[in-house]
Structure 1
Amino acid sequence: MNLEFFIAKRLSIGKAYKNSVSAPIIKIAIAAITISIVMMLIAIATGVGLKVKIREKVAAFNGHIQISNYDNNSSEVSVSPVALEQDFYPEFKGIEGISHVQAVASKGGIVRADDTVEGIIAKGVGKDYNWNVFKEYLVEGKLPDFSGERIDDVMISRLLANKLKLKIGDSFSAVFLRENDPSKIPNQLKSKIVGIYDSGFEEFDATYVFVDIRHIQRMNRWEDNQIGNFEIFLNDFDQIEEKTNEIYGHTLSTLDTKNIKNKYGHIFQWIDLFDFNIAIIIGIMIIVGGINMITALLVLILERTPMIGVLKALGSNNWSVRKIFLYNAAYLIGIGLLLGNAIGLGLIWIQNTYRIFKFPNPKEYYIEYIPVHIDVFTVVLLNIGVMVLCLLMLLIPSYIITRITPVKAIKFD
C-alpha cells in the first residue's frame, strides 16, 4: 500500500482526529465545499434548463431550420410557393441528424370580435405536422387532426382566446387580404376552436393560429403540391449551424436555408449570456471552497507539526509529507462533493418533478416555472474539475511543510 495514503487514511478515520482542535474548522471547510457544489449544480441546471426550454419553444413554432424560396420577404407570411416534391421530403435521407421534415404555409389575417380586432398569422399545417412539440403547451381541448378531409378546426393561444373572448367550441371568422392583389375582395375563413395552447412565449402566442394548410392553399390559389416552406427538426441543436450549411448544399440553388438562431438572433444572444453567468458562479464557488480548504489544510499542518518532524527524522522527504496532507484534503473535499451532489441533485429532481419554484414575472423568461436540465457527463466533469482545482490551490500552502525542521518540530517532555 502507498505509505502516504496509508498514513492519511489513519489520520482521517482516527478518533483523535475527530476530537482535535481542527475538527470545527474541518467541518466548516466540508460545509463550504458542499454548499459550493450545490450552488454550482443549481446554477448549471437552471441556466441550461432555461436555454433548452426557450430553444424548444422557438423551434416548436418554426422548426430548427427553414427551407423556402429566395425572395425579399422578411415577414412570417408565405408569399411565393415552393414545390412540395423535393428530394429531401418527406425524409431528408442525404444528411444525418435530421429527425423530421414538415411542410407549412402562413398567411396574415384579421379577426374581429364584438369589441376588439386582432391581427393573426394563420399557420397552415398538414398531416405531416409534428404535434408532439405542442402537447406540453395544450391547456384546453385537443390537438387538431388534419390527416383526413379539409376541416375548419383550428388551435389558438389562450392569449388570443382571452382577447377575443372565445372558448373551446366557439366559431369565428377571419379576413385575409390577397397578397398578389390587395384590391380584390378579401378571403374569409370561418373556423371552429378545438384546442387552446399556452407556450408562454407572447411574441408567438399573440399571433399564431394553427389551421389546415389546404385553406392557405385555397386562399392563395396554389396547387395541392405547393406550400410556403419546409421546417426541419434536428436531433442535436448544438449542430444547427453545421446542419444549416449541409442542408443548403443539398438543396436546389433556387431555395434558401435559414435557422432560428439567425432568424431570432436577439433571443439567442440573450440566452447565450447564461453561459457567462454560470461560469462566474462556478468560479466564485470554487474560490470560496478552495479558500476554506486552504484554511483547513494550514490548521492540519500546524496541528501535526510534531508528526511532520518525526516523519522527516525517519527519512521522509518534503514531497512525501506534503502528499499525506494532500490526500487528507482530497478526502475532505470528497466528503463535501458527496454531500453536495446528494443535496444539489435532490433539489434539482424535486424542481423537475413538482415545479415548486416559479418566476415572479414569467413574461420576462417566457415560462412560468424555473426549468432545470443536467446530464451525467456534466455532473462528473464538474466534480472532477472541483477536485482538481481545489487540490491545485492547496499545492502552494502545503509548501509550508518544507519550512518545518525535525529539530524544532519534535518536542520532548
Structure 2
Amino acid sequence: MNFPLFIARRIYSDHTDDRQKVSKPAIRIATAGVAIGLAVMIISVCVVFGFKHTIRDKVVGFGSHVQVANFYTLQSSATDQPVQMNDSMMQVLGKTYGVSHVQRFAMKQGILKTDNDFLGVMFKGVGPEFDSTFIHQNMVSGSIPKFSDSSSTNKILISQTMADKLRVKSGDRIFAYFIGEGGVRARKFTIQGIYQTNLSQYDKVTCFCDLYTARKLNGWTDDLATGAELTVKDFSRLGETAEVLVNRVNRTSDAYGNTYSTKTIRDLSPQIFSWLDLLDLNVWIILAIMTAVAVVTMISGLLIIILERTTMIGILKALGARNSTVRHTFLWFAAFIIGKGLVIGDILALALIFLQKTTGIVKLDPATYYVDTVPVEVNWLFILALNVATLLIAMFVLIAPSYLISHIHPAKSMRYE
C-alpha cells in the first residue's frame, strides 16, 4: 500500500466542517486558479490556431502555395511578362516532389464600368484545372463559371466589395475596358457569381474570368500564361518543396527566351505571414501568465493546508513517519486538487470553444481581422500537452514549499491550535 497516497485520499475526502473552515476556501481558490488558467490557455491556443490557419488558407486561396512565373513578373509585379506553360511544363511541375496540384493563370488589368460608376480591377484568367474549393466556400450569390482555356463564355466572378461599389448583382451585365498597345478594347461580361473572403486587399481588385479571355486580351499565344500556381501536400514542408522547384525550374528558359522563377506564398505576402507569426509570441505570454497564476494559487493553498494540518503532521512524525513521507502525502493531496482543476478547465474551455464554433457568438470586424467571427480550431495534441505541462510544472514548483514540513516538530505541533 502507498501510505502517502492513502493519507492524501483521506484528507481530500474529509468533509468534517470543523476541520475544513480554513482549507475549504483555499482548496476552492486553488482549484479555480488551475481551472481558469488552463481554460484560458486552451482557448488562446485554439483561437490562435484557428485564426492563423483561416487567414493562411484565405491568402493561399488567392495565390496558392508556390507560384512559378517569369522572373521579371515575380520581381517587379509586372503582369505583362508571360512565360511558357505548355503541357510538358505542367507535367514537370505536377511531378515535382511534394506538389499535389498545378493550375495556370493569366492576369490582365481592366476597368469595370456601369452607367454611373467605374472601378479598376485585375482580371485573373483561370483554366479548367482551376481548384474552385476556396471560392466555393466564400460564395455569396450566383455560381462559379465553368472556366475554359479554349473558348470564352464572357462570364466573370466578382467580389461583394466590387458589387457594392458598382451597385450590381449576380446575373447583371457589365462592360469592361482594357488598355493595350492597340488602344482601348471593350468587352461585355455577365456577372455569374459574387464571392466575399473579407481579405480586402484581394476582394478589392481580383475578378475571375476565362484563361482564354485573359490570353486574348494580352495578345498571347495558347501556350503562354502569367504563370502557374502550385499546391503542396504538406504546408509544414513548403520550404523543402520550394527548394526542389528552385533547383529544377529557376534560371531555366522557355522557347521564347523567358526565364522561369519561383516564389512561395510567404515571399509573396510577407506582411501577412509576419503578422501571423507575431501571434505566437502573444500565446507564449498568455501561457506564462496563466501558468504563474495557477502556480501561485496552488502554493498559497498548499501552505494553508499544511498550516491547518500541523497537528496531524506532528502525530505522523511522532508515529515514525519521515519528512519525505509526509511531504509526499501533501504533494499527492496537491495532485488531487490540480487534477480536479484540470478536468474543470478542460470542460469549461471545450464548452466555450464548441459554443463559438457552432454559433459564432463572438464577432469581429472583418475590415480589421479579415474574418467576421472568432475562428477556433481544436488541436487535441496541444490540449493534452497543456494538461500534462500544467500538472508537471505545478507539481515541480510545489516541491520547495513542501519542505516547510521538515521544520515542524512533533512535540510543539501537537500543542498547536
Report the TM-score when normalising by structure 2: 0.92
State whether structure 2 residue 16 is matched by structure 1 residue 16. Answer: yes
Distance in 2 of aligned mates of 1:327 and 1:249: 58
Runs of 4 or more above 4 Å deviation: none
Alignment-derived partner of residue 164 in structure 2: 162
Could you tell me which residue of structure 2 aligns to residue 327 of structure 1? Answer: 332
Distance apart, 1:77 and its partner CA: 2.3
Give runs of aligned pairs for residues 11-410 of structure 1, distance below 5 A: 11-16=11-16, 20-21=20-21, 22-71=23-72, 73-75=75-77, 77-86=79-88, 89=91, 92-96=94-98, 98-146=99-147, 149-178=151-180, 182=181, 184-251=182-249, 253-254=251-252, 255-359=260-364, 361-410=365-414
Q: Structure 1 stretches of 5 or more lacking a match?
A: none
Q: Deviations over 1:52-73 (max 9, x none)?
A: 1111111111001111122255
CA distance in 2, matches of 1:18, 1:237: 60
Secondary structure of the corresponding residue to residue 200 of structure 1: coil
Q: CA deviation at 1:331?
A: 0.9
Distance in 2 (CA, whole Å) between partners of 1:80 and 1:288 is: 58
Q: 1:185: how far off?
A: 1.9
Provide the rounded CA distance (Å) in 2 between the counterparts of 1:93 and 1:399. 64
**Secondary structure in structure 2 of the residue aligned to 1:167:** coil
For the 8 Å contact 2:85–2:228, the answer to whether it is kept is no
CA distance in 1, matches of 2:298, 2:416: 31
1:2 aligns with 2:2: yes
Question: What is the distance in 1 between the residues matched to 2:416 and 2:195?
Answer: 81
Change (3 A) 1:81 1:276: same
Q: Which amino acid aligns with 1:287?
A: A
Deviation, structure 1 residue 244 = 1.6
- Alpha carbons of structure 1 residues 163 and 393: separation in structure 2 relative to 1, 3 Å: same
Question: How far did residue 252 of structure 1 move?
Answer: 5.1
Deviates more, 1:310-319 or 1:387-396: 310-319
What letter is aligned with 1:55?
Answer: R
Structure 1 residue 321: deviation in Å? 1.5
Report the residue type matching 1:69 in the other structure. N
Letter in 2 for 1:229: G
Distance (whole Å) between structure 1 residues aligned to residue 173 and residue 374 of structure 2? 35
String of CA shifts for 1:360-390, please: whole Å, max 9, x gaps: x321111111111121101001111111111
Contact 1:78 1:229 in 2 (8 A): no
Deviations 1:298-334 (A, max 9, x none): 0111111122222223333222221111111111111
Q: Deviations over 1:117-136 (max 9, x none)?
A: 21110001111111111122
Task: Quote the offset at 1:149 in angstroms.
Answer: 4.7
Quote the offset at 1:99 in angstroms. Answer: 2.9
Q: Specify the code of the residue in structure 1 equivalent to 2:198.
A: G
Letter of the 1:171 counterpart: R
Report % sequence identity.
34
- In the superposition, relative to structure 1, how do residues 15 and 115 fare at CA in structure 2: closer, same or farther (>3 Å)? same
1:1-54 CA-to-partner distances (Å, cap 9, x unmatched) read 322222212221233389612011101111111111111112112222111111
Deviation at 1:74, TM superposition (A): 2.3
- Is 2:65–2:238's contact at 8 Å kept on the other side of the alignment? yes
Letter in 2 for 1:118: L
Residue deviations 1:231-276 (CA, integer Å, cap 9, x gap) = 1122333322332222222325322110121111111111211111
Task: Return the letter of the residue paired with 1:83.
Answer: M
Going from structure 1 to structure 2, the CA distance change for 1:394 and 1:168 (only over 3 Å counts) comes to same
Q: Are residues 344 and 19 of structure 1, via their aligned partners in 2, closer, same or farther at CA, if it must alter by over 3 Å?
A: farther
Query: How many residue pairs end up in the alignment?
Result: 407
Q: Give me the whole-angstrom Cα distance separating, in 2, the residues matched to 1:9 and 1:131.
A: 59
Deviating more after overlay: 134-143 vs 147-156: 147-156
**Cα distance in 1 between the residues matched to 2:266 and 2:153:** 34
For residue 175 of structure 2, give the secondary structure of its aligned residue in structure 1.
strand
CA contact (8 A) 1:156 1:210 kept: yes
SS in 1 for 2:72: coil
Contact 2:295 2:394 in 1 (8 A): yes
